[in-house]
Amino acid sequence: MTGRELLRLHIDAVWSLTLPTLDETLDEFVLTHGFPAWPLYLGVFAHEEVALWRPDVTPEQRTLYLENAHKADAVWDHAPGMRREVVFHAPHIRQEQLAQAQRQARMLNAEDADLVNAFEADSASYFLQARTAPCVGVVVNGQLVSIAHSPRQTSAACELGINTLPEARRQGYAIAATTLWTAIVQQKGLIPIYSAFAWNTASLQLAKAVGYTPGFEGIYGPMQEPAPHVVYLGLGSNLGDRDASLRAALVSLAAPDGESEGGVHPIVQVERVSSVYDTAPMLMTEQPRFHNIACMGRTWLGPVSLLYALKRIEVTLGRTSDTPRYGPRVIDIDILLYDDLSLRSPELTIPHEQLAERAFALAPLAEIAPDVIHPTLGRTTQSLAASVTGQDVRRVGKL
């Protein structure tokens, strides 16, 4: 497959833009269908460059955008506003390579819904649907640790999506899942599309380990860096060293999220943390007392993506899938408020649906954000906290 053909398939699969065959005698093309977020997509090959232009770009802008594309670094820089990615040619999967992958990875189906939901909360309906097939997983000791699927596909190609639990990385599981996914896609007569941001060393190394080879670099933009969202989280723990678990959770929030534009932002950039509150358990009262805190921060993730990131942190810190809903837990992280958003879905309700009834959440929240208004009740957190009485909540100091 030529580099230009790979470019055409990539743009179609990832950006949903159908391109004609790219004439080898031309190095610039104006899009005639679709209106992408980027004005310029520059495909950089070993011996040539191919520019794809949105039709509204003026000649003066073309000159500026090309200059900025050539300045673009691997990591997002607001000045040029360009993203860099590497797009790979798929390997031929050898029989022995496939056999090795099949010893660890297998196809997932509807019977694996509980495994998938334990891997990422309420995600089976997404991963196990026909349009994301093939879906391949690695299960170790009854736990799904890595999953490969097809987030986007066309009649000719499938794009790879690969997720691995943080504690299961660098153990070969993603290699096995990606290898088997690639082989299945090729058996269906489709082209596997693997791309990764140029800053994402782990994804680049995974591609190399499976046998993918770089086809071209794509530089696209200028893209506006999205504004972060203000989020308030409630954290609690009542097993083990409670304060150590809360500190570990705050540290984990600072890890790169890997999903937002640029991929170099923390899950939550924490800016304020409340005191620690020692609180009595509710509903299931026969369990140890909790230590609770609230924090305010900024996130570049959407609300559902943030929810999944928080669930992954909980699992990493030791929370198990069999934890009762109101039972004891090493760590619990809830989204209390997200901007002034009001959201109700099967996966997530914002503001937290029980916030106004929980002194253990309201007391630390009102400490760091007394004047923030509950978007559906129209009352400040301080007012809500004052109205909840009869619950045993004691401020005990700072972390």
CA distance 252 to 399: 15
Q: Calculate Rg over the CA atoms of the chain.
A: 24
- Out of 83, 312, 319, 358, which one is annotated catalytic? 319
Token pair 């509950």: residue: 374
SS3 state of residue 292: strand
User: If we measure between CA atoms, which residue out of 316, 300, 318, 358 comes closest to residue 334?
Assistant: 358
CB under 8 A, 24+ apart: contacts of 212-215: 212/88, 212/89, 212/90, 212/91, 213/88, 213/89, 213/91, 214/86, 214/87, 214/88, 214/89, 215/3, 215/6, 215/7, 215/45, 215/87, 215/88, 215/89
Q: Report the amino acid identity of residue 315.
A: V
334 is catalytic: yes
394 is catalytic: no
Q: Please, which residues have CB within 8 angstroms of residue 20's CB and are 6 or more apart in sequence? A: none
CA distance 90 to 213: 7
- Out of 77, 122, 243, 334, which one is annotated catalytic? 334
- Out of 83, 112, 332, 358, which one is annotated catalytic? 332
344 is catalytic: no
- Out of 4, 84, 312, 329, which one is annotated catalytic? 329
Assign residue 307 a region: left if phi > 0, alpha if psi is -120 to 50, beta otherwise?
Answer: alpha
Length of the chain, please?
A: 399
Q: Which residues carry out catalysis?
A: 319, 329, 332, 334
